[in-house]
Amino acid sequence: MLLILMGSFTLLLCMVLGAASGLDVYAAAALGGTFTIIYALISYYLSDKIALMASGAKAITKSEAPELYNIVENLCITNGQPTPAIYLMNDDSPNAFATGRDPEHASIAFTTGLLRILNKQELEGVAAHELSHVKNYDIRVMTIVVVLVGAVMLLSDILLRSSFAGNKKEAGTILLVIGLVLAILSPLLAEIIKLAVSRQREYLADASGALLTRYPEGLASALQKISAHGQPLKKANHATAHLFISSPFGAKEGGKVSWFSKLFATHPPVEDRIARLTSMGK
């Protein structure tokens, strides 16, 4: 079903933008079909590996981090889910993320900085948050969103380039204007949609993680420490920023944030997250 959704959406975009660029319907369909198959398969099956590689995460064994492994395994048993592969990022910035297409093909990664500054209860809170992303299929939802957003942005770029390549007469003035507007606005709107989905899934994972550990104060305290640290990841990038428990760009707490900045934030305000978790413990 996921591949059908991704494929249908991408194929439709290819046909519409291809036609607007001056291609006939058959050429647009052929282009869309080829692009859809390759793009969807690579994104669905390799997105987790790409995210782990981009973040510099390395797989570790139980002997290398026995306490972390015990925490994750115990939480998985309690939550009735398979234990994911565990990765470590050699980075002083405290952070963590989960990725994969389903609970059977999932991975979670932690930075060395996170393991250093958190106590056991706080680390359990972070691990439970990431495992909740896996159990709630957030990792699959975000895979869909990223794939579709990527398709919109890539195809819009193709349309914009082809519009300046001599297709004005064939497409017609009105169609050209519509196509250019789409090419300019669609990446912006797609990015807003992606970030909005990401923020809502963070709230859900916070709540689910707190219910799993039955100690919301642990995750709240962890978020407080992570936010106060303020150091960006060495390999922070916008493509994977939404996957992390906190912004990898090291946004510090405090200070007034404009509504425009919040619109493009990958995560909800940490103060709101901590307040919700604190209220759960009362």
Sheet holding 106-111, edge to edge: 57-59, 85-89, 106-111, 96-100
pTM score, two decimals? 0.78
Q: Within a domain: residue 96?
A: yes
Q: Report if residue 40 sits inside a domain.
A: no
Q: What letter represents residue 4's amino acid? A: I
Residue 86's pLDDT is 97
Pick from 49, 48, 60: which is nearest to 90 by CA? Answer: 60
Note down the domain range covering 247: 54-280
Which residues carry out catalysis? 130
Does some domain include residue 64? yes
Residue 134's pLDDT is what? 94
Q: How many domains does the chain have?
A: 1
In this prediction, the residues of the chain whose per-residue pLDDT falls under 70 are: 1-29, 31-33, 35-36, 40, 143-197, 251-266, 281-282
Q: Is residue 36 part of a domain?
A: no
Q: What integer pLDDT is reported at residue 198 of this predicted model?
A: 76
Distances (CA, A) of 102 to 19, 42, 81, 177: 36, 16, 11, 41
Cα dihedral 261, 231, 85, 5, rounded to 10, equals 10
For residue range 85-113, list pLDDT tens digits in order. 999 999 999 999 999 889 999 999 999 99
Is residue 32 included in any domain, yes or no? no
Residue 25 lies in a domain: no
What pLDDT, on the 0 to 100 scale, is given for residue 262? 57
User: Does residue 143 sit within a domain?
Assistant: yes
Tokens of 117: 């500054």
Q: What is the pLDDT of residue 243?
A: 86
Confidence at residue 18, expressed as pLDDT on a 0 to 100 scale? 57
Token pair of 219 as six digits: 């995750």
Residue 185 CA to chain centroid, in angstroms?
21
CATH of the domain at 102: 3.30.2010.10
Is residue 26 domain-resident? no
Q: Are 182 and 115 in contact (CB under 8 A)?
A: no
pLDDT at 149 (0 to 100): 62
